[in-house]
Structure 1
Amino acid sequence: MDNHYSIYICGVGGQGIIKTSTIIGEAAMNQGLDVVMSEIHGMSQRGGSVSTELKIGGYNSSIIPKQGADMLLSFEPIETIRGLDKVNSETKIVYNTHPIVPSSTDKAYPSVDSITKTLKENFKHVLPIDGTQLAIEAGSVLSLNMVLLGAVTADDKFPLTKESVIDAMKNNLKPKFHEMNLKAIESGYKSIKG
């Protein structure tokens, strides 16, 4: 398996994008892989855009070039669209279908069905997932990031094992949250692997 892998993660403030990236980074290091990461916070505390770029396996720069991501992991549908400059025809696009409609605008939010249709018409590897619902079923909407992380580990080309991701999760979250987040990871994994 090629252990060179780049992942662009995006969403809005408060969804756990930075924590997800930290867990991926730690899991990579635990597997003996080099990892570099960059973060863009924007107005993250007010629901603004947040993104991270991770490159696993011997990269010198943390910035993913245009059309250079192996995976786009998005926590919100519109943020998926904003991240499309990082994808190419082989990029796997995994995204949460639950929208977060900004209260600061009166513009209509596009339908998630239209976003999904457009993505599937233009890209080969599109995996929409109702991560928000799966997180609620796991115990809390706050475990959305772990649902999506579980979905990522289901990708055969993703260089990290589910077990190393679970170990990193346990190392980064308080023990009282382990069981719920383990359920969330398993739920996300099963949503892709079946």
Structure 2
Amino acid sequence: MRIDLRAIASSLQDVKRILAQQEFDVMLLDLQLQSGQCLDVIDQVKQCMPLVEVVATSIDDDEALAMLAFEKGATGYLVKSSWFVSYGDAILEVVHGGAPVTASITRRLLPRLRNGAGARGARLDGRASQGEECLTLREQEVLQMVAKGHTSAEVATELGISVQTANAHLKNIYRKLQVRSRAQAVSKAIALGLLLQARGATGA
């Protein structure tokens, strides 16, 4: 798969300009970008382009900062000083449904995530909790394919719909599940019992 670089930003002002002028699928966001308040950029991206995946990068090997990025809607978190294959591989991982996270961050986040899952008391009866709408059959089909790592284009081809329609379904899934990324949608759907058959396919 080819990666097409659409724009480079050196400041938050550049980011705002790009959001108004460009369309793209993945953003690599340096949390040390000039002018600060970079976590707020994730909010802006998700408001303007809900389907864009954001991979945060930072010099800080800090699980608290990573959690804040994830809560804002980031799909991945990479520490610059750590070893990882490449930014290109991270982008491809996101496009194929993955969530690139530096290993040291993942190791420290696991206990926190496990505790959070226990506190939420995940439901496995397939019903949505209060405040969450039920997914349509088509939305469930889309989510099943996303959980298996398919891109929007692949979902569209498999289901015989346009890419725009596939993305519209995915946007509705985000809204109904009250999430902001593919990884969050799959994780929450599994917790709600909506993707029991896809457990083995998520690999996360």
What TM-score comes out, normalization by structure 2 length? 0.31
Larger Rg computed on CA atoms: 2
Higher RCO by CA contacts (8 Å cutoff, separation 6 or greater): 1
Structure (1 or 2) with the greater helix fraction = 2
What TM-score comes out, normalization by structure 1 length? 0.32
